[in-house]
Amino acid sequence: MNILILGAGFGGLELATSLSDELGDEHEVTLIDKGEGFVFGFSKLDVMFNRAAPSDVFHPFRDVDKPGLTFVRATVESIDPVAKRVETDVGPFEADILVVALGADLDPAATPGLVEEGTEFYTVAGAFALRDVLAAFPGGRVVVGVTSTPFKCPPAPSETVLLMHDYLVERGLRAASTISLVMPFQIPIPPSPDASQALFAAFAERDIEWVPERMVTALDTDRKVAVCSDGSEIPYDLFLGVPVHRAPAAVIASALAVDGWIPVDPLTLETAFPAVFAVGDVTSVGTPKAGVFAEGQAAVVAAQITARIRDGGPPATYDGKGVCYLEFGHDLVGKVTVTFLSGEAPTGGLEGPSEAIAADKVAFGTSRVQRWFDRQWAVG
Ligand SMILES: Cc1cc2nc3c(=O)[nH]c(=O)nc-3n(C[C@H](O)[C@H](O)[C@H](O)COP(=O)(O)OP(=O)(O)OC[C@H]3O[C@@H](n4cnc5c(N)ncnc54)[C@H](O)[C@@H]3O)c2cc1C
């Protein structure tokens, strides 16, 4: 059996590892990615706020070395889900089972003014470049704004304003600055009223302005004003943006995409095309676009594929559960456990924030690096 995984991010790495663990070298697993390595989403904030160096948070794909698994560096150009055939810049690949784990692409150019300002913190390049921008920032009006939905890791903008507060306090610039957060929601984390209340308390304590139910649709870079979806304007000296998200072009051009993302069976993650699965941010499965959900979905697809190959009993199905860590500043981290099941309102409680959960978050990252790359990761 020939299994082809497109995308070596959170979902693809977990799936490739699980399949290698389960199947060894009995079957061929090929993992394709256009990049040189993996960076956790949360590491972008660590680099931007100078809590880690770029080289500390980069995990090269050359370290992926597992039985039965071949990594190929290539850009996927088109996907034929009927033939299970993929065209890439290094040639075609064919599969018996195909899994699309290509994540979400980011499009700063879709928001007028965002590229000129150059300050988005969602791409690796954008977040890493902000490290120097923040170091040179003399203080002033900081606006963190979301430009569209859906967007990855919905807690990340809230984490960013709290970490920004600490950053400015440490540099003696907080009194000369204001911090505002523009979000499309009524509360910061809609599935978790508890986490949202804790964030509201943290914002109030730190004098962070919460601007709800709005998105930033453009930046007027001459006037240094963020223009919002309701027509209101917010002046800024430093704008930190969450750019527009879309599925990669090869996905949008394929028969897999419906309304911009890949619909899947919420229990098995199989697409409308037999033996073609999709996991993570590229899907419209209904969970937030976050690594923990991509990873949970990958584990289910691994079980589905293994059961199919071995003709075993009914495999595990997806439970929609994920644990999100939430940076509260002051080196404290909270933990939100949320379950998204179709037809039911998602619910999530908050644990912490505490130093113990901050240590849990470090262990979360180091355990994945050990599992996927077979090496130790000394963070920070
Ligand atoms: C600031 C920030 C903080 C975050 N914090 C957290 C957090 O604390 N916890 C959490 O769970 N999530 C967090 N996330 C979200 C998390 O990073 C993503 O949701 C997660 O990586 C999605 O996994 P995925 O496998 O679907 O896609 P990705 O991890 O994005 O992987 C997709 C892969 O596909 C590759 N690819 C794309 N197009 C092509 C192509 N055409 N050809 C070949 N390869 C291609 C890419 O190079 C990439 O390696 C955060 C995100 C951000 C931006």
DSSP string, 319-380: --EEEEEEEEETTEEEEEEEE--TTS--EEEEEEEEHHHHHHHHHHHHHHHHHHHSS-----
From the CA of 10, how far away is ligand 1's center (Å)? Answer: 6
Backbone φ and ψ for 77, nearest 5 degrees, come out as -105, -30
> Does 358 map to a domain?
no
Q: Domain of 296?
A: 2-104+247-319
**Among protein residues, the one whose CA lies closest to atom 50 of ligand 1:** 41
The answer to the question of residue 344 being in a domain is no
CA-closest candidate to residue 242, choices 328, 130, 149: 149
Q: Could you tell me if 126 and 194 lie in one domain? A: yes
Q: Are residues 96 and 119 in the same domain?
A: no
For 260-284, b/e burial (b = at least 16 CB within 10 A) is ebbbbebbbbbbebebbbbbbbbbb
- CA-nearest residue for atom 30, ligand 1, is 103
Mutate to test the pocket of ligand 1, among 34, 78, 79 (most ligand atoms within 8 A of CB): 34
Q: State the pairing for strand pair 225-228/216-220.
A: antiparallel
157 shares its domain with 238: yes
Q: Other CB atoms closer than 10 Å to residue 295's CB: what's the count?
A: 20
Assigned domain for 330 exists: no
Domain boundary among 319, 339, 371: 319
* Angstrom distance (rounded) from CA 111 to CA 242: 10
CB 335 within 8 A of CB 326: yes
Whether 345 is covered by a domain: the verdict is no
Q: Is position 324 within any domain?
A: no
Measured CA to CA, the distance from residue 275 to residue 254 in angstroms comes to: 16
Q: Which of 43, 53, 54, 51 is nearest to 166 (CA)?
A: 51
pLDDT on residue 341: 77
Nearest CA to ligand 1 atom 14: 41
Please give the pLDDT value at position 168: 98
Q: Based on the domain organization, do 193 and 223 belong to the same domain? A: yes
Q: Give the mean pLDDT per block of 10 residues along the chain (380 residues).
A: 98 98 96 98 98 96 96 98 98 98 98 95 98 98 98 97 98 98 97 96 98 98 98 98 98 98 97 98 96 98 95 86 95 94 81 97 97 88
User: Per the domain annotation, does 292 fall within a domain?
Assistant: yes
Looking at the fold, whether 279 and 177 belong to one and the same domain comes out as: no
Asked whether residue 291 is domain-assigned, the answer is yes
**Whether 117 and 240 share a structural domain:** yes
Residue 137: half-sphere exposure toward Cβ, Cα within 13 Å: 31
Residue 113 contacts residue 210 (beta carbons within 8 Å): no
| Residue to mutate (ligand 1; options 13, 36, 38, 42; most atoms within 8 A of CB) | 42
pLDDT at 380: 55
> For the chain, how many structural domains are there in total?
2
Task: Report the Cα–Cα distance between both ends of the chain, in Å, rounded.
Answer: 41
Q: Counting atoms of ligand 1 from 1, which one is nearest the CA of 38?
A: 49
Structure tokens at 339: 């379950």
CATH number at residue 79: 3.50.50.60
Nearest ligand 1 atom, CA 77: 41
* Among 173, 114, 170, 113, CA closest to 140: 173
Atom number of ligand 1 nearest to Cα 322: 11
Domain stop point among 268, 295, 319: 319
**Same domain? 64 vs 76:** yes
Please tell me the predicted confidence (pLDDT) of residue 348.
Answer: 86
The answer to the question of residue 360 being in a domain is no
Question: Do 28 and 70 share a domain, yes or no?
Answer: yes
11 CA closest ligand 1 atom index: 25
Nearest residue CA, atom 19 of ligand 1? 290
Which among 244, 275, 292 is the end of a domain?
244
